[in-house]
Amino acid sequence: MTRIEIIGLHYDKEIVKGDDIGKIIVELSREYNVKINDKDIIVVAHKVVSKAEGRVVNLNSISPSTRALEIGKETGKDPRLIELILRESQEILKISNGHIITLTKHGIVCANAGIDASNSGGDEYVVLLPTDPDASARTIRNTIRKLLGVDVAVIITDTYGRPFRLGVINLAIGFSGIKPYRDYRGKPDRNGKLMRITMVTIVDEIAAAAELVMGQGAESIPFAIVKGISYEKCEECGFKDIYMPKEKWLFR
């Protein structure tokens, strides 16, 4: 019998710049009497990481460029927000029906460079993605190892849409300590046929599963501890390993 357990850690305090996310997770685990063990997986909503790293911007501090003003007229969006989108993007992929689809500096394809105004701390504030989510995950992982003496994996998540499907799901935008794939290539299926291309991106599956507990912010559950998943450790793995280069894109 296989059993997976996902435990959400409720935290209703406002995260501010300088907060130690790893320490907060350890403190919450003790408060809720949840033991963190070796090979547990800690899932963290990116927004709390961004806030702790000071990635919150007051739009009043932004002077929009000429291009931002032009796109603002085209889309009806705040030119100050568009200026931030331009700064956080490698490329604007598409502007249509008021939507701006971008390729972020991280290599993530998403709307508005992942910039979010919800739960931002005020009407004029927005939250950017962490500068380096993999590094953020490593820092949290190292803190937990230092405080508890256990080696966990950490996944930083955000919510995104998918081509030709309505609704959104949680996906990994950074991680540490886990090989992102479960690789079935070269293994036989039940009928003995060798599989040639199947690689399951378990970091995304774990992120999506954790969202069922964490929700979208209104629930104030920015952290989850996932137990019972078998995975390979990997010290060097990160978002670069799941990023698809543009030459392989099917949807443009």
Beta strand 41-45 pairing with 153-162 = parallel
- Check residue 88 and give its pLDDT: 96
d(CA 54, CA 68): 24
- Check residue 119 and give its pLDDT: 81
Domains of the chain, earliest start first: 5-53+130-244 (3.30.1330.100), 57-126 (3.90.1660.10)
**Over its length of 252 residues, how does the chain's per-residue pLDDT go in tens digits?**
789 999 999 998 999 999 999 999 999 999 999 999 999 999 999 999 999 999 999 999 999 999 999 999 999 999 999 999 999 999 999 998 888 999 999 999 999 999 998 888 788 999 999 999 999 999 999 999 999 999 999 999 999 988 888 999 999 999 999 999 976 655 666 766 665 667 789 999 999 999 999 998 666 899 999 999 999 999 999 999 998 888 888 766
- Is residue 94 within 8 A of residue 101, CB to CB? The reply is yes
In the numeric block, which tokens belong to residue 235?
Answer: 């010290």
- Check residue 115 and give its pLDDT: 95
- Check residue 252 and give its pLDDT: 64
- Is residue 237 within 8 A of residue 178, CB to CB? The reply is yes
- Is residue 69 within 8 A of residue 85, CB to CB? The reply is no
- Check residue 117 and give its pLDDT: 85
Q: Say what the pTM is.
A: 0.93
In the numeric block, which tokens belong to residue 31?
Answer: 């408060």
Torsion angle (degrees, nearest 10) of CA 38, 41, 46, 47: -80
The sign one gets for the Cα dihedral 64, 47, 181, 139 is: positive
- Check residue 216 and give its pLDDT: 81
- Check residue 1 and give its pLDDT: 72
